């Protein structure tokens, strides 16, 4: 599933902030709020002057608007141009969006190597969608040599942040012993985490694994699943694993 990421401008330096920087942030925040509220013309009017001065968050926002045709005519190539300008300044969200563009060939010639490059930059900064996508590139061997261990590494990074698709895929690796040692208890727990976030296929796999475990193993798996729910599901409740 294609997901675009938009965020207000990140503070790139620590310490005291200038009045100008605060004013820029306020305009980015307003443009972002207008975008999500469906007020695309207002968002564009706020973002364009900032983008023309090279503001990366504004550039990323314009990229999304041109890609989706919201407030402006759809123009994938122009969207990629804005993403690139922001990504080259180190904007983590634009790095991810540019990676998606290269992977899908949307607005640019498809290039898995470039997709991996930009995913990696965003993944190393902690973006879970980028970590998940980078893991899939390693699992499928797109733009990199197929490497199940590296796929598991990046799935884990995303799974620990609550990414349910990463949790599901990591569970599959544990159930098959690909890139990690085969461990049905850990597979059960990760499938359960994904299932708790609404992934029905994960619930089915969790239950199939449960049928293969002894009573003692299942008890241990449920305890592990309860811990994963507490630690790796956003706003997780206290409901126990089945």
Domain residue limits, the chain: 21-125, 127-237
pLDDT of residue 21: 66
Would you give the DSSP letter of residue 142?
S
pLDDT of residue 238: 45
Which one, of 242, 233, 166, lies nearest residue 208 by Cα?
Answer: 242
Matching fold, domains 21-125 and 127-237: yes
H or E segment and range at residue 101: helix 92-104
The list of the chain residues with pLDDT below 50 reads: 1-2, 6-19, 237-238
Q: Is the dihedral of CA 158, 164, 165, 168 positive or negative?
A: positive
Q: Which CATH number among 3.90.650.10, 3.40.50.300, 1.25.40.10, 3.40.50.2000 corresponds to the domain 21-125?
A: 1.25.40.10
pLDDT (tens digit per residue) in 123-177: 999 999 999 999 999 999 999 999 999 999 999 999 999 999 999 999 999 999 9
Residue 218 corresponds to which tokens in the numbers above? Answer: 């299942």
To the question of domain 127-237 being in CATH 1.25.40.10, the answer is yes
Residue 45 in contact with residue 39, Cβ under 8 Å? no
Tell me, yes or no, if the pTM score tops 0.85. Answer: yes
């Amino acid at each position: 599933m294609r997901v675009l990421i938009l965020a207000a401008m990140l503070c790139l330096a620590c310490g005291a902030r200038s009045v100008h920087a605060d004013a820029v942030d306020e305009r980015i925040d307003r443009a972002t709020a207008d975008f999500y509220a469906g007020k695309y013309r207002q968002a564009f009017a706020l973002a364009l002057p900032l983008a023309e001065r090279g503001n990366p968050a504004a550039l990323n926002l314009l990229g999304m608007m041109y890609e989706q045709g919201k407030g402006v005519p759809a123009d994938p190539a122009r969207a990629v141009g804005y993403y690139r300008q922001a990504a080259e300044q180190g904007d983590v969200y634009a790095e991810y969006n540019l990676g998606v563009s290269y992977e899908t060939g949307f607005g640019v010639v498809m290039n898995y190597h470039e997709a991996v490059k930009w995913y990696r930059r965003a993944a190393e900064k902690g973006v879970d969608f980028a970590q998940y996508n980078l893991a899939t590139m390693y699992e499928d061997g797109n733009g990199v040599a197929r490497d199940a261990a590296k796929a598991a590494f990046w799935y884990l990074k995303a799974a620990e942040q609550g990414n349910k698709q990463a949790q599901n895929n990591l569970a599959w690796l544990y159930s098959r012993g690909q890139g990690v040692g085969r461990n049905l208890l850990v597979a059960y727990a990760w499938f359960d985490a994904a299932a708790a976030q609404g992934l029905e296929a994960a619930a089915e796999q969790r239950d199939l694994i449960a049928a293969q475990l002894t009573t003692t193993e299942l008890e241990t798996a449920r305890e592990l699943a309860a811990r994963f729910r507490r630690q790796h599901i956003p706003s997780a409740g206290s409901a126990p694993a089945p």
